[in-house]
Structure 1
Amino acid sequence: MNHDQLQKTLHASQYAEQVLAQYAEQLQQDDQDHPFHQTLSSAEIFAYVEQTLAGIEDEIQWMRQLRILRARLMFRWIWQDANQQTTVPQLTRELSDFADACICAAKAFALPALLAKYGEPMGYDGQVQDLIVIGMGKLGAQELNLSSDIDLIFAFDEQGETNGRKCIEVQQFCILWGQKLIYLLDHMTAEGFVFRVDMRLRPWGDGSALAISHVALEKYLIQHGREWERYAWIKARVITGEKGDSLMEMTRPFVFRRYVDYSAFEAMREMKQMIEREVARRNIHDDIKLGAGGIREIEFIVQVFQLIHGGSKLELQDRTCLTSLEHIGAVGLLEPHVVSDLEDAYLFLRRVEHAIQALNDQQTQALPVEPALRQRMVETLGYATWDEFLDVLNPKRDKVSLQFKNLIRENEFDQHDADSTELEQRLFAVLDDDAQNLIHEFWHGHAIKKLPAKAVERLKAFWPPLIAAILQAEQPQVALLRLMPLIESVMRRTVYLVMLIENKGALQRLVKMAEVSPWICEELTHYPVLLDEFLSMDFELPRRADLEASMRYQLLRIELDQVEDLMRVLRLFKKSHVLAVAASDVLAESPLMKVSDALTDIAEVCVEATLHLAYEIVAQKHGYPVTQDGQRCSIDQKGFIVIGYGKLGGIELGYGSDLDLVFIHYLDEQADTDGRKSISGFEFALRVAQKFMSLMTTQTLDGRAYEIDTRLRPSGEAGVLVTSLKAYEQYQMKSAWLWEHQALVRARSIAGDLGLRQQFEQLRCEILTQKRDEGEVQTEVLKMRQKMKDHLGSSKEQKKDGIFHLKQDAGGIVDIEFMAQYMVLAWSGTKPDLAHFSDNVRILEDAARLDCLPSQDAQALIQAYLSERAESHRLALANKNMQVQAAQWRDTREIVCKLWQRLIDPSAQALDSE
């Protein structure tokens, strides 16, 4: 060993002196094998642990050798720190790697005895269960200090039982496993301990079960998880355990909200105030972790930004403090000089922390009191005197303290009356008398007088920024009149006003959306809870996978018998995500096809979830049915599917679209279910369909999820609600009218049993690709189209007044849809690829690709169709009907009418003769 470096090490640490006295020969060998000044990789640390414990079966000897190894490695790390041969990130990473290696070793050593006594822990899924060990806090972030304890949570994937002679539940097996792991590491022997283990961060804390299943943990986080637990789970990391990654993936939506999380502000303020009160009460200024300007304040600053912005800025989801701090600076949430000050302070304070703990291997961050220990510590850190050290320490802590105090400050609710008066004068200048009277009545009405003082105070604080945002609008009066009902509906829920004050960008977007869409304002006014989503939207169209995860996450916390809660989730899920699409449509000008795709995805996720709920509710009461193949059904193999027709089937949903649905089953209608209250397979299928309709369409305080039309089922309203696949096939092949095959063009299986869905798609293709007489198809399509025009199109008087019904009149949307359907029915007998898709655009593209229609004509129809549908979306957002000025659509209509005349009706009248 290098003599000078050894002396520095021993001067820095009384604990190192003790280790040297006990294990001098081993330390000498360690230095020869891997010199102390060299750092260790993760692989090398794991190898150290494995080699040390290799072949040891005696528990006492195993514990002794691991503790001796810990002392030798601690000597190495104190050596490197005292001689400045490592960095804070490197040292904390090595300490964390050693903890990981010890945990894995203890877990492996504890298992054989349990297996011998109880057998393997088998989940209900038939898989052997593993103990998942989650590191929290500094261990999770791989930032352990020299004398850290380790925060752990134990979990497992699936409940079940062991398969040994003495059978116990998987949870009990994992609890015993975890208890032994703790004992092997935490128990104090003559050689000391390896790590103190803290389990208090587990769900429910002390007194609760030591190990928890994946499902139970997920339910806990959803139902009971508190803001401080979100804060704690930021640093969570799986150290060992099969399926640990999927468990961690499950926790991410709990920790990081998808959008900017302004709801976290209040909770973070409370946590900050708690920290400040604790510092004042305990007088812990000399604690460089917990005191003012200490390590905890830096970590809190970082984690506040992570909680609020981590859902929308994925780079902020890193566990380590320094890396996250860099990312916070990179995305512009903190000024570069602030990031630099905090990084500098963090590294300095962590080095001081190591110097404190090296003295006696104690879990403390308090600066030493004894003069001799103080002098040893400051000399290790490179300072001559204690005062010289404080001259460096205190300014760094002051900078941290300043940023901590500036963080999420309470908003000032004392707006100057002069500012408000000036803004109101500017607003009144652009308002008519009615609008001015509305404002006057609002502020002097009974509703304001009944508000609590705090609510009035916040409303007054909200008013000036609202006026400022409205004054920036192109139509200030329109925006104001549409927003006033919304303000009245939320003014008692002042958290919304606070959030809008916090988030000026959201307020400006709200004003812009009010200007464009009264429909959006009405939705928010009727269902203010949707503001939660609106305030945190990123205005990107939702992805299907995210929608599915969100639905699953929301439904998981609700039991099947809580029907009202289930319906509330379905309705708010639909409304909030449709609102998000509308916002993207208005503010981000998303393309029409992508908007329709997103609206269709929302509906499909709702249908899939509702089918699952309806099926399970009926099965819970009556048991599972049997398929026509004699197989017992299950959650995944339902023997039941939902078919989407019309706009849903054609992937062309709009904002107010209802859902055209048909229910098909593959159950043995005569065989009974396997429950106590058994019913026939037919009765089961019927009750599933009825429960589905009830969940979707019952009017509640949150409205309906969707209006549903089932009249396209075989025999229409006279037919049964749900049909077997065989009966459906017989009807379509033998009894269906041509218009029913025409409707089938836009049909698509959207939910349920995958195998049955594939069978339906094959059947659909067989029906549509039958060879038909082209003249008969022309006649029937023309007859149906004329009926629709007569019943739904514009009247003669309206046409004379220059009105064009965008959907139903000649040259409108339905003409284009009918042409696409005509092509499929008339030509797919020889061109079967025409029947592949259910949406009009791809049908028209295929018609061109298969030389059924000139490419120029197909593109002209597609452009006309997209233009008219885009306008229909705009009208829906503006709460207007589909009647527009005919003159503005003349060119588009002429293109459609000429092709209609060529394809279907040579005798069709020209537009001028309408």
Structure 2
Amino acid sequence: MDWQANIHKLPPLLQGRIQNDLARFQEALGQGGLETVFKEKTIGTLCPVWAASEFVASACICDPSLLLGLQESGDLFRPYEPNDYAKTLERQLDELDSEAALMVALRRFRRREMVRIIWRDLAGWASLEEVLGELSQLAEACLDSALAFLHRWQSEELGTPHGAVSGQPQSLVVLGMGKLGAWELNLSSDIDLIFAYPESGETRGARRVLSNEEYFTRLARRLIRVLEERTAEGFVFRVDMRLRPDGDSGPLVANFDAMENYYQNQGRDWERYAMIKARTVAGDRQAGARLMAMLRPFTYRRYLDFGAIESLRSMKAMIAQELRRQGIKANIKLGPGGIREIEFIGQSFQLIRGGREPVLQERGILQVLALLAEKGHLPFYVKEELCAAYLFLRRVEHRLQAYRDEQTHTLPTSAERRACLAFAMGYGDWETFASKLDDHRRRVQGHFEQLFAAPHMDTAGQMTREKGLAEVWSGSGPTESVLATLKAAGYHSPEEVAQILAYLRQSYTVRALSAQARARLDQLMPLLLGAVGRTEQPEQCLQRVVTLLETVAQRTAYLALLAEHPMALSQLVKLCAASPLIARQLTRYPLLLDELLDPRSLYRVPDYESLVKDLGRSLGAVPGDDLEQQMELLRHFCQRQTLRVAAADVTGVLPLMKVGDHLTHLAEVILKKALELSWQHLTHRHGRPQRSSGEQAGEYGFAVIGYGKLGGYELGYGSDLDLVFLHAAQSSDPPTEGEKTLDPIVFYSRLGQRLIHMLQTLTPSGKLYEVDTRLRPSGASGLLVSSLEAYSDYQRTQAWTWEHQALVRARFVAGDERLGAAFAAMRREILGRQRDLATLREEVRGMRTKMRNQLDWSRPGWFDLKQGKGGIADIEFMVQYGVLAWAHAYPQLLEYPDNIRILEGFAQAGLMAPAESLQLADAYRAYRAAANRLTLQEQKALVEDEQFRQERTAVQGVWSALLEDEAA
């Protein structure tokens, strides 16, 4: 066959080698007596593939049947299915009876498949994703097949290992790390492995008893030898075991308990980085899944771990130092703008956020980058540039390694090799290729440095912090200098600040810090002192922040977060200065610190629909039967959203009425989700309630009624939830439909108990809400859950006037919509009754007097905003009186349960002068705004007596006219 036309299409520097290779190939074909009928696709790609890969050319020349077999089977022209390698190996190895034969078979199989993969890659028939995936599948199939044979043979010889506790037979678990774990294996990569077995024990079935550790150590050594020993047939894969616990000095295999103990107590940051890509690639996959679940908390922390950035920065610096030492500059993997920098960018976000955002617990870097852009952690254009660079660099990597099946990442220096690489990449000359490569690497390096550059660096590479504040924190300067520096930084009482800092330095928390943690604290404190000094009351603010630091300092990731992100530090200081309540919440629940990173989201309070979607996404990543994790996520969601409301409140972004609306909407969303989870838990165990009538029970047959501040859209920070539970079951209804049946009334009682448990059980993340159910029929002595029929009867025949007053601010908030509508109709009926006004006035006055006598904190010089004369409670009682007195004639007063809109309704109906209605509404808003501010300052709702004098006089005037004037 005349190949000259194809040879002339190659770069001149490569034509002579290919001419020679073809001659040798023709000679080998002749010696083997093989037919030389090539398909058109083979003819069209042979010369360019051989030009780019001496390995492929040599393999085909040494064994021409290899190429002919690939062509005739069609394997050369098609992508494999995921299980093709395993199936093929199973057929080829079926009759093997020795380790030597296994080694030969695996090496021949590997050579054939590597020729096929490289050919398809260089011919442009396979995408990068296909190449990476098939290389990983090839390695996995070789590992799994070899291990299966070796384990069977060794068990026949030495017995079968069994667990000491479980008594069950044991198998080796092989974890694939790095690119193998991520299905990203390159053409000539080592495979990074870790060997483990479930539990300690010993072998059974042979005269000599071995410990499981000894058995599996022998097995692991045999597996490594079978894979990497070089023979006349070559090797299968080089094996790297340095990622195992304690590296080369550690045991070759370890049981699961030892693995968990090591990573929990000794695991280092670079090992967390390595574990991101780990997965079970051979052996007992079910046991491997258990092991990965055990190790996941080591890799992915529950909090946002910004210490990972510093660790990765240090790792990259070590790599750069080693490259400089070796004089290697043109390394496309480890050098500037190389593959490793792209991986570091993606994996830094995984280490920081993966515990909180399980969706980021991906192994493949391209998927990770896409998720980061989707979730707003990376700008879209950055993701696009990084992905394009990654694809380009991995193709370069493969062409470097395809040339001689060598593990190299270094760009060539010889003219021929450069011409070969440029040609293999589709470029006419080295200069054009090198320019494109440089463009990609420059972009990657820019993005990498933007993320990983140490913060607050000046041109000399030193922290740009005031030397004086560093000396203040270290305590190394003279007292006079320290006080002067603090005064200059904005502190009013430098002596007090010096005492606060001395206390922190000498505290057990700081003295117990590791060297790394102390270095981070030393980096943070001068920055913190500078920021706090610019607040209005810096001493007060500093004390709050120092209290927080004492709590979080042992978790150095929080120190790193504040030191690495000036914006987060700025927001922390701003919020702690504004509110001790916010400072205390951040101290109690440091997970909230990550909310400080982006002021745009911190002060943007989501609407109702956004809350529903956000909570749904958070819980969607948790298994449905993991109640503990669901409860933790609910609490964190509540704390996170409450922090946003408080932050927007103290900075004036939200007006008062919106604060109450948002906190009420948040409670409703959480109530609905908590009821849904409680329902799922009970119905899973007991089945759904049934109806004797055969009708469906509705969505739940259960309704949650919100009273008080919840019912009136007026929740404040830390407000209790006043709840009443109703059900629609009848005594004649059959039991639930599950295996463990329950009487429906008992079912609904347990549903109410479960819901309260979800809301107010104290977990590591605190409580959701305190729940008060005393407004149910007969109060604390009554049933926790009432039927709608019994509740309605109670309201009609037994309820006191104060209970009807409470009904004014009651509404359906969660559960069965039909039951909620029935409650609303009953409420309209009860509140719409015509009442004797004299009796009503007397009862309302009497209840208000009793309440004031018990709860009013007013004293000389101070006024209780809530219970004082002319305060919030007086306005609420007037609203309730007006509804009970006038709703029979003006049913529109029953449309809303909140005080402001009811007051507006009074004016619109002509029942109250517009000026009076406006006076009450304005006073109510002013009182609540003041009470709200005092709550954020963790103070009682007391103001100086002169404050709100005009409002109090107006409220008392309306009270007298409405409730004390008998003609009213």
Tell me if TM exceeds 0.5: yes
Amino acid at match of 1:528: P
725, 731, 736: which is aligned to 2:799? 736
| Matched residue SS, 1:880 | coil
Measured against aligned partners, the alpha-carbon deviations of 1:114-161 in whole angstroms (never above 9, x if no partner) come to xxxxxxxxxxxxxxxxxxxxxxx99xxxxx9xx9xxxxxxxxxxxxxx
Match of 1:30 in 2: none
Aligned to 2:944: 885
Aligned twin of 1:863: 922
Superposed CA deviations along residues 415-456 of structure 1, whole A, max 9, x for unmatched, are: 886541267533266226455333323323444333333333
CA contact (8 A) 1:625 1:632 kept: no
Are the structure 2 counterparts of residues 611 and 375 from structure 1 closer, same or farther at C-alpha, using a change threshold of 3 Å?
A: closer
CA–CA distance in 2 between the matches of 1:748 and 1:900?
26
Q: Is the 8 A contact 1:345 1:400 kept in 2?
A: yes
Is residue 895 of structure 1 aligned with residue 954 of structure 2? yes
Distance change in 2, residues 1:606/1:358 (3 Å): same
The yes-or-no answer on 1:297 pairing with 2:361 is no
Distance in 1 between the 2:648 and 2:317 partners?
37
Provide the aligned C-alpha RMSD in A.
5.9
How is 1:501-650 mapped onto 2 (pairs within 5 angstroms)? Answer: 501-534=563-596, 538-552=602-616, 567-587=631-651, 589-627=653-691, 629-631=693-695, 637-650=699-712
Cα distance in 2 between the residues matched to 1:565 and 1:78: 49
841-850 vs 591-600, which deviates more? 841-850
Q: Who is 1:420 aligned against?
A: 470
User: Which deviations, in whole Å up to 9, do the C-alpha atoms of 1:163-203 show, x marking residues without a partner?
Assistant: xxxxxxxxxxxxxxxxxxxxxxxxxxxxxxxxxxxxx9999
The code of the aligned residue for 1:421 comes to E
Q: Identify the range of structure 1 (643-652 vs 401-410) with the bigger mean alpha-carbon deviation.
A: 401-410
2:929 maps to amino acid? A
The corresponding residue for 2:849 is 786
Preserved contact between residue 466 and residue 526 of structure 2 (Cα < 8 Å): no
Once residues 416 and 700 of structure 2 are traced to their aligned partners in structure 1, the CA distance between those partners, rounded to angstroms, is 76
1:125-204 equivalences under 5 Å are 204=279
1:284-307 Cα distance to aligned partner (Å, 9 max, x none): 976656754236635755886899
Matches within 5 A, 1:160-559: 204=279, 206=281, 262=306, 265=309, 269=313, 288=332, 292-294=336-338, 297=341, 301=345, 374-375=418-419, 378=422, 386=430, 390=434, 397=441, 400-401=444-445, 404=448, 407-409=451-453, 418-421=468-471, 424-425=482-483, 426-427=485-486, 430-431=492-493, 433-534=495-596, 538-552=602-616
% identical equivalent positions: 38
Structure 1 residue 741: Cα displacement: 1.8
Q: CA deviation at 1:514?
A: 2.1
After the TM superposition, which of the residue ranges 520-529 and 622-631 deviates more from structure 2? 622-631
- Where 1:888 maps in the other structure, the secondary structure is coil
Residues 332-358 of structure 1: CA deviation (Å, up to 9, x unaligned):
989x9x999989988986997899999
Could you report, residue by residue, the CA deviation over 1:822-868 in whole angstroms, capped at 9, with x for unpaired residues?
33222222332221211222223344444444544434333222221
Q: Deviations over 1:641-695 (max 9, x none)?
A: 2111000111110112111111111123453334444332222222222333334
Indicate how the Cα distance of structure 1 residues 746 and 399 shifts in structure 2: closer, same or farther if over 3 A, else same. closer
* Residue correspondence of structure 1 range 90-101 to structure 2 within 5 A: none
Amino acid aligned to 1:541:
V
User: How much does 1:471 deviate?
Assistant: 0.7
CA contact (8 A) 1:802 1:885 kept: yes
Name the CA shift for 1:342/1:683 in 2 (closer, same or farther; >3 Å): closer
Q: Residues 301 and 404 of structure 1 are in contact (CA less than 8 Å); yes or no, is this contact kept in structure 2?
A: yes
Instruction: Give, in whole Å, the separation in 1 of the partners of 2:967 and 2:307.
Output: 60
Partner SS for 1:887: coil
Deviations 1:791-850 (A, max 9, x none): 32355xx2xx33221112232212222233233222222332221211222223344444
Residue of structure 1 aligned with 2:861, choices 790, 793, 802: 802
Cross-structure match for 1:654:
716
State the distance in 1 between where 2:308 and 2:817 align: 41
Amino acid at match of 2:868: D
How far apart are residue 602 of structure 1 and its match? 2.6
2:646 partner SS: helix
1:194 aligned partner: none
Cα distance, 1:470 vs structure 2: 1.3
The 3 A distance-change label for structure 1 pair 617 and 870 is same
Larger radius of gyration: 2
Q: Is the Cα contact below 8 Å between 2:320 and 2:334 reproduced in 1?
A: no
Q: For residues 551 and 224 of structure 1, what CA distance do their matches in structure 2 show?
A: 27
Q: Is residue 782 of structure 2 the alignment partner of residue 719 of structure 1?
A: yes
In structure 1, distance between residues paired with 2:952 and 2:876 = 14
Amino acid at match of 2:309: F
Residues 643 and 747, structure 1, Cα contact 8 Å, conserved in 2: yes
Q: Does 1:823 align with 2:887?
A: no
> Helix, strand or coil for the counterpart of 1:523?
helix
Change (3 A) 1:320 1:700: closer
Secondary structure of the 1:643 match is: strand
Contact 2:419 2:429 in 1 (8 A): yes
Structure 1 residue 512: Cα displacement: 2.4
Matched residue type, 2:543:
L
Cα drift, residue 523 of structure 1: 2.7
Q: TM-score scaled by structure 1?
A: 0.64
Task: Give the Cα–Cα distance (whole angstroms) in 1 for the partners of residues 277 and 387 of structure 2.
Answer: 30
- Residue 869 of structure 1: how far off its partner (Å): 0.8
Aligned length: 726
After superposition, residues 24-39 of structure 1 pair within 5 angstroms as none
1:313-340: CA deviation from partner (whole Å, max 9, x where unpaired): xxxxxx999x999999x99989x9x999
Aligned match for 2:830, one of 767, 770, 779: 767
CA, structure 1 residues 818+467, in 2 after alignment: closer, same or farther (shift >3 Å)? same
Match of 2:271 in 1: none
Task: List per-residue Cα deviations over 1:261-287 (Å, max 9, x = no partner).
Answer: 857636865886798799899999766
Q: Give the Å deviation of 1:468.
A: 0.7
User: Which amino acid letter does the alignment assign opposite residue 712 of structure 1?
Assistant: L
Determine if contact 2:128/2:391 at 8 Å carries over to the other structure: no
Letter in 1 for 2:886: W
Shift of 1:494: 1.9
AA at the equivalent of 2:657 = M
What is the aligned partner in structure 1 of residue 896 from structure 2? 837
Alignment partner of 1:904: what SS?
helix
Counterpart contact for 1:817–1:840, Cα < 8 Å: yes
* Alpha-carbon offset, residue 595 of structure 1: 1.5
Opposite residue 687 of structure 1, the aligned amino acid is R
Instruction: Give the C-alpha shift of residue 880 in structure 1.
Output: 1.0
Matched to 1:375, the amino acid is A
